[in-house]
Structure 1
Amino acid sequence: MPGRIREESIAEVREKAAIDEVVGQYVTLKNAGGGSMKGLCPFHDEKTPSFNVNPSRGGYHCFGCGEGGDVISFLMKIDGLTFTETVERLAEKYGVELKHEEGEGRDERPKGPPRGKLVEAHRVAQEFYAEQLLTPEASQARQFLTERGFDGTAAETFGLGFAPRGGEDLFRHLRARGFSPEVITVGGLAVPSQRGGSPYDRFRGRLLWPIREASGETIGFGARRIFDDDKVEAKYLNTSETPIYKKSRVLYGIDLARREMGRSSQAVVVEGYTDVMACHLAGVKTAVASCGTAFGDEHAKVLRRYMADHEEFRGEVVFTFDGDAAGQAAALKAFSGDQNFVSQTYVAVEPDGLDPCDVRIKKGDAAVRELVARRVPLYRFVLTNVVGKYDLDRADGRVDALRESARLVSSIRDRSKVDAFAREIASMVGVDVEEARVEVRRASQRRPAPSGRPGPPAEEELVAERPARQELPSLRDPRFAIERETLKLVLQHPMVIGRTTSDVGPEDFIHPTYRGVWEVIAAGGGPVAGAGDATWSGRLRDTATDPAVASAITELSVEPVHTAKEPTADYVLQHVVRLLELTVLRRIEQVKSKMQRTNPVEHDEAYRRMFGELAALEEHRRKLRDRIVGTQ
């Protein structure tokens, strides 16, 4: 047993392992200014990103849950590795030759094969399977792919393969490459024989899809039956749970989709491997699918991290379901987990009941993209299916539809959405809004409390119809962080700001107080008027007629900006462009919302006009993103 790893080797690993690159395989990071990056914490659920990474210092810290450390501690926690395993894994990746102390050392490795060996065995297995797909024995597997519109290039892109029917082909191949029976069986590539003989291959005579982590490492396989005489009844088989494969957290296609998810803040969740392939080949680059299990809470957490799913950059999650009973059941399950996302949730269902793969075969790539573009809100899809079971021309049918819909809505954890859904029910069923509210309240009262007893009246949980006095949100609300930092730069460094704010207007500030501050600045001649004038911010404060605005000017004039160095023109430009981007994002959301409520058949011209505006906005946003990248 080797001695412990020398400190100089550990230090070299820390130095060469780029923490932003390592963390970026698990979390979508965005620049946060001052040399830091920010994303959603992978260690706890949060709506607003508080997980910070500082590449220059090689550390991370979450201001929400308090987790922090360096690149080694991050991998140890997120992958459940020991210190030694983590150092060895990083050393292998970044080309560090580890040196050990002489003599016996304490071995921290857990019992069983190390993770690196299991991953390497899967890499070799995937290469073996890919080669077998080209053999005569795999002709039916290739025919299956051809019939579904996938050629050899597609098979190579997605790493598809074929498991020979022999039963020990892969096992013998891996043994010849130096892998022990323990590595092969613990990794789920072969199954121990109950008769005491050699292990036999887990997959035999099947078409295979490699299941990969976001980093691209193969950790398991999904296998489809090809031959009619296959003795295993299940059409699909997946790798069993192993030390590296956890089906509740694995998403097929995440390795190909994660970067586009971070760029677009969108995820498309489909039901099968061929659907993922069809979407990506058709241009929907954010498609993923769960593997051998229903989409659940853990999968949602994975998506949120890669989508950067938070209040400031709200995105969308689009589920595709079959139109049959199973698809409706899946939609109900997704609806129950809707609160996992800050993003808006949608459903895309082809009117003919086709899945994305069949849509591509029968109607082409454009039809797949159109399927996703025509998505409808998830809650509307679910409630429509519930209400559709009843004859609404009958009074008893309306009563039953109202009761079942109310029970569904009463189960929602996010109480702020309940009143909106009650209105939706009223519109669908054709009853008074107040009647729908009353039924939802009754359903809430009948719902068991955690103790098992009926819950208390839910009257206060519903938003009242009467208007309430609106209080302004806090100036430090994270939603307005860009507005706050930009105004601090304008007031404290007008000389650096120069004319970079020429495109900024009051509409770029959604907090009324910050909008008022900008209007005072603009009325005073803009940032150019304050260049070289130490009394400028004080004079602006004196001209403000709103006490809240005057107070904010004082506060923003003294609070430190988020950079330890003197702000550069690039640093300023980055904030200004991000402010403009948020305005474009809000407008995009407004146009999408309006399109969602517009019937394209009945209002073709208006729909086309909105589609054109949306395309122009997306192009404008892309140019703004390019400007931000240019400053980094």
Structure 2
Amino acid sequence: MPGRIRSEDVEAVREQVRLDEVVGEYVTLKPAGAGSLKGLCPFHDERSPSFHVRPAVGFYKCFGCGAGGDVFRFLQELDHLTFPEAVERLAQRAGVQLRYEEGSGGPRRQDVGARQRMLDAHRVTAEFFAEQLGSPGARVARRFLAERGFDRAAAEQFGAGFAPEGWDVLLKHLRGKGFSDGELATAGLVSRAQAGDRVYDRFRGRLVWPIRDVAGATIGFGARRLLESDQGPKYLNTPQTPLYDKSSVLYGLDLAKREIARRRQVVFVEGYTDVMACHLSGVPTAVATCGTAFGPEHIRSVRRLLMDDDAFRGEVVFTFDGDEAGRKAALRAFEEDQRFTASTFVAVEPGGLDPCDLRLERGPEAVADLVSSRVPLFEFALRSTLERFDLDAAEGRVQAMRAAAPVVAGIKDPALRPEYARRLSGWLGMDVEEVRRAVGAAGRAPAAPAGRSSASHGEGQGRGRGGRGAPEQAPREVHAPAPDPRDPVVRLERELLQAVLQAPSDVDAARFDALPADAFAVPVHRAVHEVVRAVGGLAAAGGGGWTGRVRETAGESLQPYVEELAVAPMALRPGEGAGRLAAAALRELELRGLMREAGEVTGRAQRAEASGDAEAAAGLWARAAALTAALQRLRAESA
């Protein structure tokens, strides 16, 4: 059996891959002080960013849920990889050739994780489909794209391809690349016959789009029916697999993520061609759900890119067809709206055109104008409610007020409720105080049982990314004791250890390594100090991987606190290094040590003197005098 990846190769990958670049593919990061970045945690749902990344140290830490670690742990936790899988993925990214122990000089083909095998199969499939789009049999697919205004360059930009007719064209191709039928079935690329073990291509005679994760890896496909002989659904997607979870996947997110972060805007559309039309019309922030209704997991995916919190406000725009189904979809989105802090809008084309048709009929400017003409989602929900009533009749206005009042009362932002009550009174032509009383009464009514308006909205409930069973809000257990940061002693010791882990070259290694084992008063700090001593002291910090060595030596129970110390922002002035803070903390610990030793020696001298041992007493008094002189010098230095 092939052995482990060589440790020097693991360190080579660690040194060549920037943690902030990897994390930045999942989370929008903003500066958070000297050498620190922060964003919304990808491991739990939060409104204010508590997730910190320190690129120079190579560690991240969430101070909300406790998640922390290095770049390998980040991928292990977020994408459910084993450690070797995470190393292999990043090695491929960095161009590092991995070597394996026990004589396995090349890549471990049979030991590569199942997930990576599925990713490889999807990559090969996407390349095959894209190549097939130019074949004679794909004429119907090329015509479909051309009729919707998409040329060859557009098809290449979005990776569009063609799944050939036939039951096993793709299957034979993938078998030739070394993939087994079992791997392909697990990946959702082939289907199994109801009787027997025969497998066949899932996508046949269809136009296909690769569906990619936020990092750009293909994890599934969406396929559009083209042939009259095809009796399947109009759109056929990859089934649920270890890679593909339709409740969280968004088509186009890999292409839109940078513009979403830059513009602080995301535009939700309804289909693959709508995403293409938007991106080609100057709306590069468009994404679409994949064969399911918009739900909470989709929200989690984009909120991290929007940095959607009280400090950094973004904009969410839903575009829907102007028909009744589109209006219902917009109202369903209203149920999820208040999970966003960002301003949320609806853009509905009155003529019922989707972005793809709108671009085709009126040009790309019309698509951009549609997004620009958005209206607030609260306003859209209220106006859609009012449209059901005859507002020319007194009875109709009263009924409309009763129907719309719960909508206003359901607005969680207390600053918005009075404004929409005022607007509602204007739309109804009724006294504003009467409308406010109706809103207040609706707000005091018993709340309806929690639930979703459709089954598809609830598919992601109770799961985190990739199907976690724990509640999304459940904090991670932190095993290390959590000292009170308000305690001056705690703060002093913590700042010194932060400097040791984050900026070891700024700390006087000789003075730090000379500290005795009992220099730290706080138990968890004493434990971290013992770990630093165990790895050779601060003098051994050179050569890279310092923080990682300390973390690994710390053991499981202490690792979370080491991660926290390695990432937490330090109390530094702008442009200031950690040296001054570390030197002051070292002096204070040395002072405390000298005071403690001087007290102990004085006590021993007094006991020796009382027992009549004059010689021992004299030596101890001399030692106490020397310690007192050292204390005075150190206090003068500190002053």
Q: TM-score, normalised by structure 2?
A: 0.68
Q: Which amino acid aligns with 1:376?
A: V
Give the match for residue 552 of structure 2. Answer: none
Give matches, 1:129-278, under 5 Å: 129-232=129-232, 234-278=233-277
CA RMSD of aligned residues (A): 2.5
Instruction: For residue 223 of structure 2, give the secondary structure of its aligned residue in structure 1.
Output: strand
Question: How far off its partner does 1:141 sit?
Answer: 1.2
Matched, 1:561 2:560: no
Give matches, 1:360-379, under 5 Å: 360-379=359-378
Question: How far off its partner does 1:335 sit?
Answer: 1.0
Distance of 1:110 and 1:292 partners within structure 2: 34
Give the match for residue 291 of structure 1. Answer: 290
Give the match for residue 358 of structure 2. Answer: 359
2:85–2:113 CA contact under 8 A, matched in 1: no
Relative distance call for 1:52 and 1:75 in structure 2 (3 A) is same
Distance of 2:426 and 2:392 partners within structure 1: 14
Distance of 2:111 and 2:438 partners within structure 1: 56
Give the match for residue 28 of structure 1. Answer: 28
Question: How big is each residue's C-alpha offset from its partner over 1:106-165, in whole Å with a ceiling of 9 and x where there is no partner?
Answer: xxx999961111111111111111111112221111111111101111111111011111
Question: How far off its partner does 1:171 sit?
Answer: 0.6
2:82–2:113 CA contact under 8 A, matched in 1: no
Give matches, 1:93-104, under 5 Å: 93-102=93-102
Distance of 2:573 and 2:198 partners within structure 1: 66
Distance of 1:18 and 1:373 partners within structure 2: 37
Distance of 2:293 and 2:83 partners within structure 1: 34
Question: How big is each residue's C-alpha offset from its partner over 1:468-521, in whole Å with a ceiling of 9 and x where there is no partner?
Answer: xxxxxxxxxxxxxxxxxxxxxxxxxxxxxxxxxxxxxxxxxxxxxxxxxxxxxx
Relative distance call for 1:110 and 1:63 in structure 2 (3 A) is farther
Give the match for residue 52 of structure 1. Answer: 52
Distance of 2:378 and 2:369 partners within structure 1: 21
Question: How big is each residue's C-alpha offset from its partner over 1:255-311, in whole Å with a ceiling of 9 and x where there is no partner?
Answer: 111111111101111111111000111111111111111111111111111122233
1:209–1:221 CA contact under 8 A, matched in 2: yes
Give the match for residue 122 of structure 2. Answer: 122
Question: How far off its partner does 1:248 sit?
Answer: 1.2
Q: Which amino acid aligns with 2:252?
A: G
Matched, 1:325 2:340: no
Give the match for residue 613 of structure 2. Answer: none
Which is bigger in relative contact order (C-alpha 8 A, separation at least 6)? 2
2:53–2:59 CA contact under 8 A, matched in 1: yes
Question: How far off its partner does 1:414 sit?
Answer: 4.1
Give matches, 1:15-94, under 5 Å: 15-94=15-94
Give the match for residue 430 of structure 1. Answer: 429
Q: Which amino acid aligns with 2:153?
A: T
2:85–2:112 CA contact under 8 A, matched in 1: no
Question: How far off its partner does 1:449 sit?
Answer: 6.2
Matched, 1:280 2:279: yes
Give the match for residue 390 of structure 1. Answer: 389
Distance of 1:562 and 1:398 partners within structure 2: 60
Q: Which amino acid aligns with 1:323?
A: G
Give matches, 1:447-466, under 5 Å: 447-448=446-447
Q: Which amino acid aligns with 1:400?
A: Q
2:2–2:111 CA contact under 8 A, matched in 1: no
Q: Which amino acid aligns with 2:230?
A: D
Q: Which amino acid aligns with 2:75?
A: L
Question: How big is each residue's C-alpha offset from its partner over 1:201-229, in whole Å with a ceiling of 9 and x where there is no partner?
Answer: 11111111111112211111111111122
Relative distance call for 1:448 and 1:110 in structure 2 (3 A) is farther
Question: How far off its partner does 1:103 sit?
Answer: 9.7
Distance of 1:113 and 1:324 partners within structure 2: 47
1:328–1:382 CA contact under 8 A, matched in 2: no
Give the match for residue 3 of structure 1. Answer: 3
Instruction: For residue 392 of structure 1, give the secondary structure of its aligned residue in structure 2.
Output: coil
Relative distance call for 1:212 and 1:63 in structure 2 (3 A) is same
Question: How far off its partner does 1:2 sit?
Answer: 2.5
Distance of 2:426 and 2:167 partners within structure 1: 59
Q: Which amino acid aligns with 2:248?
A: R
Distance of 1:388 and 1:118 partners within structure 2: 50
Instruction: For residue 438 of structure 2, give the secondary structure of its aligned residue in structure 1.
Output: helix
Deviates more, 1:84-93 or 1:18-27: 84-93
Percent same amino acid among aligned pairs?
A: 56
Q: Which amino acid aligns with 1:118?
A: M
1:425–1:436 CA contact under 8 A, matched in 2: yes
Question: How far off its partner does 1:87 sit?
Answer: 2.2
Give matches, 1:435-450, under 5 Å: 435-448=434-447
Give the match for residue 457 of structure 2. Answer: none
Distance of 1:25 and 1:80 partners within structure 2: 16
Relative distance call for 1:159 and 1:350 in structure 2 (3 A) is same
Q: TM-score, normalised by structure 1?
A: 0.69
1:13–1:90 CA contact under 8 A, matched in 2: yes
Distance of 1:7 and 1:65 partners within structure 2: 30
Structure 2 residues not aligned, in runs of 5+: 452-570, 580-639
Q: Which amino acid aligns with 1:35?
A: G
Instruction: For residue 282 of structure 1, give the secondary structure of its aligned residue in structure 2.
Output: coil
Relative distance call for 1:60 and 1:566 in structure 2 (3 A) is closer
Q: Which amino acid aligns with 1:301?
A: R
Distance of 2:330 and 2:112 partners within structure 1: 40
Instruction: For residue 308 of structure 2, give the secondary structure of its aligned residue in structure 1.
Output: coil
Distance of 1:388 and 1:9 partners within structure 2: 66
Instruction: For residue 166 of structure 1, give the secondary structure of its aligned residue in structure 2.
Output: coil
2:161–2:209 CA contact under 8 A, matched in 1: yes
Give matches, 1:229-628, under 5 Å: 229-232=229-232, 234-448=233-447, 560-561=572-573, 563-565=575-577
Question: How far off its partner does 1:98 sit?
Answer: 3.4
Relative distance call for 1:355 and 1:411 in structure 2 (3 A) is same
Question: How big is each residue's C-alpha offset from its partner over 1:538-565, in whole Å with a ceiling of 9 and x where there is no partner?
Answer: xxxxxxxxxxxxxxxxxxxxx7425542
